[in-house]
Amino acid sequence: MLKILGKIGLLVPALATATVWLVVLRLKNVPVPLLGAYGLLLIGLVAGLLWPGVLGRRVTRRRVLTFVGVPVGLGTLALYLTVVYHVKDLPMLLALAGAACLAGAVSALLRGRRRADDQGTRRTRRALLLGGAGLVLGMLSGLSIGPVERQRREMLARGEHERQAAMRAPGARRRITDGAVRVFPIHIGDTIVTYGQFYGGLDGWEGLNGYLRTLVDKAQIAVPVYAYLIDHPRHGPMLVDTGVNWEQAHDHDGYYDMTSRLLTERDEYRMSPGQDLRVHLARLGYDVKEITTVFLTHVHDDHAGGLRYLPQATVVMDRRDWKHGVLYPYSFDLVKDNLSFPAFDSGAFGTFPASQDYFGDGSLVLLPTPGHSPGHMCVLLRLDTGSVLFMGDTLYTLSHLATGQVRQMTIGGADTIRQLEAAQRIQQLLSSDPGVVPLFAHDNTRYQFDLVTSTFTDGTPGAAGLWELRRHMQTVLTPEWRLRPGHTPRFVAPASGPGLGKVEFR
């Protein structure tokens, strides 16, 4: 009985590990038929090692290892090299292979000493061969470090060359210093997401179920990633979010470690040289070193990646996000000593029970909007002719303000409730103050691409510009926050074969 329980105790974690690995491979777009065949081999290996008799009376564990284990091992290596491997792994892989050879050599040597016959001699000879192979692999591991680092330096140098060329391209402007508060939308590349993740929150895309659906449903779209530059006459140049950095888009696997690579998609970001944060700032007449403050709506990597270019800036974010929301810490390595956590002790702000008047002069107010992340916050900036509300990911697009009809994937449970409560407070704020205009981080509609971009061309929208944005909101949404006809999103599959779909509004 104890033996059976022990085998069951081994079976459960083995199957759990295999399931996680299969899920990771599906996330990496491994075809389902191939994944199914590989999964059956994994199950056969686990079952055969624990209960070899299941596969036949004459089946032994050695045969299971030979006829099932070897194909599984080769398949695992092939899948790893195909979907996870990055050149920076080479020294580690060689070192692991060398260590395995040395361990095999020690085992063969110890077993060979126990016998004085020909088999003992063969085992000793095998130990010497394995030991030699282990030493060679160890030397290759050390020798490979230099070329791997050189390859990465060359790649970064090519990126720097492209960035400098983008900075020198015609059309750059000089910084305007006339005492006005200016806001510039900065389109920092795109992120590739599942359509249901972006628009399917009312169709079952919620919590764990939603995440699992992203593994199976590959109807994907590209949506923009926006940060916003604020030039304030009293408080200097600031940013709301920072978008992604060049390495995330062009050297994704090199930027993330192996564990993170398993949980992210290789092509999740794309960015042209001209969309680099540093290029954007330079072409607007600013130096990235001038940025004094970054207001981070939340810690997700598509909003925090550009922090690597801003080691001098104070990064203002909710403490709850820092403690409980960071998934990949790489973006924060250079600013983790410059973090500032607002206390939200400035009292209520409209329908928001708490707020933070950051500078103490009413010019910029932080509003807690948890749900999408533990400490998500929105930022309200006073302009000369009105206000803008930086939404972060509380709501992705203008259409998402119709929360009863359009919803992004939410975390589920209490977090979904908190996010919807935050959205309702935003609706009430926009209803009560017609001078407030929402600005989104991922809006893929005409509102962002045409109106926001043109209205903020020189950073100062003026009363007429803000009124035009509010007027467009009224053509999309009713006063009860319902979508008007012609503005309901719909996924359009690519015309031929796999690829990115589009979103139409009908």
CATH code for the domain in which residue 362 is found: 3.60.15.10
Q: How far is C-alpha 261 from the geometric centre of its chain's CA atoms?
A: 10
Do 261 and 309 lie in one domain? The reply is: yes
In a domain, 157, yes or no: no
**Which uninterrupted H or E stretch holds 397?**
none
- Same domain as 56, residue 182: no
Q: Based on the domain organization, do 468 and 425 belong to the same domain?
A: yes
Distance CA 165, CA 282 (A): 12
Q: Is residue 156 part of a domain?
A: no
- Nearest of 307, 372, 368 to residue 339 by alpha carbon: 307
Residue 177, pLDDT score = 85
Domain termination site, one of 104, 129, 144: 144
Query: Is residue 371 domain-shared with residue 253, that is, in the same domain?
Result: yes
Residue 400's pLDDT is: 98
Return the closest-CA partner of residue 406 out of 491, 469, 300. 491
401 and 460 co-located in one domain: yes
Q: Is 317 in contact with 395 (CB distance < 8 Å)? A: no
- Is residue 208 in some structural domain? yes
Q: Are residues 42 and 86 in the same domain?
A: yes
**Are 69 and 174 contained in the same domain?**
no
- Do 289 and 376 belong to one domain? yes
- For residue 479, the enclosing domain spans 169-494
pLDDT at residue 424, as a whole number = 97
Beta strands across the sheet bearing 387-390:
356-357, 364-368, 377-382, 387-390, 436-439
151 in a domain, yes or no? no
Residues 222 and 135 in one domain: no
Residue where one domain finishes, among candidates 128, 144, 160: 144
Residue by residue, pLDDT tens for the chain (506 residues) are 666 777 777 788 888 888 888 888 887 888 889 999 999 999 888 888 887 776 667 778 888 888 888 899 999 999 999 888 999 999 999 999 999 999 988 887 877 666 655 676 777 888 889 889 999 999 999 999 999 999 989 999 999 999 999 999 998 999 988 889 999 999 999 999 999 999 999 999 999 888 888 877 889 999 999 999 999 999 999 999 999 999 999 999 889 888 888 878 888 999 999 999 999 999 999 999 999 999 999 999 999 999 999 999 999 999 999 999 887 788 899 999 999 999 999 999 999 999 999 999 999 999 999 999 999 999 999 998 999 999 999 999 999 999 999 999 999 999 999 999 999 999 999 999 999 999 999 999 999 999 999 999 999 999 999 999 999 999 999 999 999 999 999 999 998 777 899 999 98
pTM above 0.75, yes or no: yes
Cβ-count burial of 15 within 10 angstroms (0-12 exposed, 13-18 middle, 19+ buried)? middle
> What local confidence, expressed as pLDDT, does residue 443 receive?
97
pLDDT for the residue numbered 211: 84
Angstrom distance (rounded) from CA 240 to CA 440:
11
CA angle (477, 479, 483) in 5-degree steps: 25
Q: How many domains does the chain have?
A: 2
15 belongs to a structural domain: yes
**Residue 417's pLDDT is what?**
96
Judge if 308 and 352 occupy the same domain.
yes
Same domain for 362 and 308, yes or no, is yes
The predicted structure's pLDDT at residue 430: 97
Let me know if residue 330 belongs to a domain: yes
User: Whats the size of the chain, residue-wise?
Assistant: 506
Query: Are residues 327 and 464 both part of a single domain?
Result: yes
